[in-house]
């Protein structure tokens, strides 16, 4: 490791590459709790993650979506397949802060991605259905996050802030 040379930021795939596209759609704002609505802040941005509304265990990651779409629509051309997969992935991935991502990580959607894709109809009908389902999931996750944040904020104010303030005061010269 040569710390005399700049670090290659592209090694941070959780912030660049695939994630950067997701974060650009949200403007770097957590779509679950709204963290990041203020000025664009490096310290907060580096804590942002990609949230899959239908998660990995339910076939919501890109490679599984690609396979499920190919199985559902075997006659699509490679270009049509890629476009549909991209649109589904866009509907299924959002920006979340690390707290919201962690606090919803065990949530399971009512249906797997393959089940959502199984609705009868054309690719356009299926895409509209995916959009409706992911909006419902997003709204449910927002309600859960809001409920959890109320309790976590109260505990933070009463249990954490006093200790952090005392530690900062003690660390100051003459503190």
- Contact present, 100 and 30 (Cβ < 8 Å): yes
- Contact present, 83 and 29 (Cβ < 8 Å): no
pLDDT tens per residue, range 44-100 = 999 999 999 999 999 999 999 999 999 999 999 999 999 999 999 999 999 999 999
Instruction: Count, in order, helices (H) and strands (E) of the chain.
Output: 8, 2
The percentage of the chain sitting over the pLDDT mark of 70, rounded to a whole number, equals 99
Predicted confidence at residue 16, as pLDDT, reads 85
What whole-number distance in Å separates Cα of residue 100 and Cα of residue 32? 7
């Amino acid at each position: 490791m040569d710390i005399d040379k700049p670090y290659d930021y592209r090694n941070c795939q959780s912030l660049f590459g695939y994630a950067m596209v997701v974060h650009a759609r949200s403007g770097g704002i957590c779509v679950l709790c709204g963290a990041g609505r203020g000025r664009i802040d490096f310290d907060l941005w580096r804590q942002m993650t990609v949230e899959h509304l239908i998660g990995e265990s339910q076939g919501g990651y890109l490679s599984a979506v690609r396979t499920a779409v190919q199985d559902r629509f075997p006659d699509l051309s490679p270009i049509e397949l890629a476009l549909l997969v991209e649109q589904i992935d866009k509907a299924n991935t959002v920006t979340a802060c690390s707290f919201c991502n962690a606090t919803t990580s065990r949530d399971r959607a009512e249906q797997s991605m393959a089940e959502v894709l199984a609705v009868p109809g054309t690719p356009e009908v299926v895409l509209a259905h995916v959009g409706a389902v992911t909006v419902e999931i997003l709204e449910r996750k927002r309600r859960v996050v809001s409920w959890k944040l109320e309790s976590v904020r109260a505990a933070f104010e009463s249990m954490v802030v006093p200790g952090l303030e005392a530690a900062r005061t003690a660390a100051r010269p003459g503190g």
